[in-house]
Chains A and B, each alone.
Chain A
Amino acid sequence: MNDEFDKKNAVIRFFHVTKRYGSKNALFDITLDICENDFVFISGPSGAGKSTLLKLLYLGEPVSEGEIIVDGMNLKRINHRAIPLLRRKFGIIFQDFKLIPSKSAYENISLVLEAQGIKRSLIKKKVRSLLRNVGIDDKEKCYPPSLSGGEQQRVALARAIAGNPKIILADEPTGSLDAESAAKIFDLLKECRQNGATVLIATHDTELIRKTGGKVILLDQGRLDVMTVIPKLE
């Protein structure tokens, strides 16, 4: 195991975590730490359990066995009322985006800020600048069903980073994008990391990992296969 997976400042700790759907193991006996300000790829073939691993973190699914600690909160003992607080630590780009179809791009993003009780005038500024950053400021009033896959993905990214989350979970964040747009999205995610966020990206796009470089957690059929650091391709 590499030194870079240091146990110091671990913001996420998995301890013998198993997740079962029915009798089928989606994740089996995973123990790992993710440190503050890490930029980590979770990779592996389809069905390896990448999305499941992310879901466990924000309590999208309950753990079957083992324990997960996120930023000092033990997810097993978390109070029902504290779940929203846990989720606000995360900015999540879901694999299926999960945009609300009856709300415009603007409203989908502002929702997160409103839920956190941020002032309306501030929200407006913030959402506008986010839309500009992800390059869809002209689609502000559009509804998700009328946006292309790539555009929806960018709305999802903007929503994920809107609340300045401590941890960003990105599930195939570049799946619907061309190489150029994908690079732009990655620049944004790196910028978030520079601003102090921890970034977890689930992707099976090894090409992209090689191009970007970073820590990689490789899953295979629910088991932790390799944890390594891939240097940036020069």
Chain B
Amino acid sequence: MRTFIEKGFFNFITIATISLSGLTVGAFLLFIVNADMVMASWTKDVRIMAYLEPDIDSQRIDQIRTQLQALEGIDLVVFISGDTALEQLKSEMKRHQSIFDNLKVNPLPDSFELHPVHVPEHFGRFERLARFVEQIPEVSEVEYGEKWLGRIANIIKLFKITVYAMSALFIGASVFFVANTIRLVLYSKRDEVEIMKLVGASDRYIKTPFYINSLLHGGIGGGVGLAALYILFRLLETSVLSGLPANLVSLSFLPPEIACSIFGGSVMVGWIGCFLSLKRFLK
């Protein structure tokens, strides 16, 4: 414990580095988690509509239904006849019944409503499904969600890749930094370490305090980083989002397993940093 208090400056630097990288990586992950949740709520009710050519016999319709149901990623297939669709439209537009009075034939085609299995991260799947459905000759047109959802999904995907790369970079940089800080401490203590060896201390005995120190640094750094992230998150939530309607976007903090991973990762950063510098120092 003495070493812990003695080297106040190095302790501070190490803890600050680890907490900063914890905070940064945490912030990235927080963004991803929330972007996923927003995407999930926006894509929850996405349906793929397959409009059919007119005058297809019911046998063929059953065939197509079976074909669609067999598709992977489709939860439910609902057939909506043109008539049903018209009834629905009428009931939705009760105030404008007059529009429908003049209709001699039903202009609405028969259609299938496909309910995809809900996997928010894979918005691209809708597109693939839609393209497949389009290839059925009796299908005249396919419509799904809104195109901009797909575009946002792609942006989020790109962002995720960037985030993972940057996180790896941050973690690598902090390991490097921690290892070098410990190397400086070791260098300043080289006489002491040399004396300890001369009086018969084993490498393990010499190393242990450094490991304890580094694990502590990692733990404290991770804790501080997460706490700072939580405070920033709360501030953001109350100041920026309070003006917006509550149900438009609701943010949530990192789920416990991710928070724990960040904490564990910080401890690991301390450990690896220590391992690397000791390996060099005590060869």
A contact residues vs B (CB 8 Å cutoff): 58, 60, 81, 83-85, 87-88, 90, 92, 94, 98-100, 102-103, 111-112, 114-116, 159, 163
Q: Does B44 contact A (CB under 8 A)?
A: no
Contact A88 B205 (CB under 8 A): no
Contact A102 B200 (CB under 8 A): no
Given A100-B192, A102-B192, A159–B198 Cβ distance below 8 Å? no
User: In the complex, A112 Cα to B201 Cα: how many Å?
Assistant: 7
User: In the complex, A116 Cα to B202 Cα: how many Å?
Assistant: 9
Q: Which residues of A contact B6 (CB under 8 A)?
A: 102
Contact B202 A115 (CB under 8 A): yes
**Residue in B191, B192, B202 whose CB lies within 8 Å of A84:** B202
The closest CB in chain B to the CB of A85 belongs to B200
The closest CB in chain B to the CB of A80 belongs to B203
Q: Does B169 contact A (CB under 8 A)?
A: no
Q: Which residues of B contact A159 (CB under 8 A)?
A: 199
Contact B198 A87 (CB under 8 A): yes
Contact A92 B198 (CB under 8 A): yes
5 A-B residue pairs with Cβ-Cβ distance under 8 Å, sorted by A, are: A81-B202, A84-B200, A92-B199, A98-B198, A116-B200
Per the 8 Å Cβ criterion, residues 173-229 of B in contact with A are 191-192, 195-203, 205
The size of the chain B interface, using a CB distance under 8 A, is 13
Contact A163 B200 (CB under 8 A): yes
Contact B201 A84 (CB under 8 A): yes
Q: Which residues of A contact B203 (CB under 8 A)?
A: 81, 84
User: In the complex, A87 Cα to B192 Cα: how many Å?
Assistant: 16
Which 9 pairs from chain A and chain B are nearest by CB? A88-B200, A115-B201, A87-B200, A84-B202, A100-B192, A115-B205, A98-B195, A112-B199, A84-B200
Tell me the minimal C-beta distance from A4 to chain B in angstroms.
Answer: 30
User: In the complex, A77 Cα to B224 Cα: how many Å?
Assistant: 50
User: In the complex, A106 Cα to B190 Cα: how many Å?
Assistant: 21
Tell me the minimal C-beta distance from A58 to chain B in angstroms.
Answer: 7
User: In the complex, A114 Cα to B192 Cα: how many Å?
Assistant: 15
Tell me the minimal C-beta distance from B130 to chain A in angstroms.
Answer: 67
Tell me the minimal C-beta distance from A145 to chain B in angstroms.
Answer: 13
With most chain B CB atoms within 10 A of its CB, the pick from A84, A99, A100, A163 is A84
Given A84-B202, A102-B6, A115–B196 Cβ distance below 8 Å? yes
With most chain A CB atoms within 10 A of its CB, the pick from B6, B195, B203 is B195
Tell me the minimal C-beta distance from B27 to chain A in angstroms.
Answer: 39
Q: Which residues of B contact A87 (CB under 8 A)?
A: 197-200
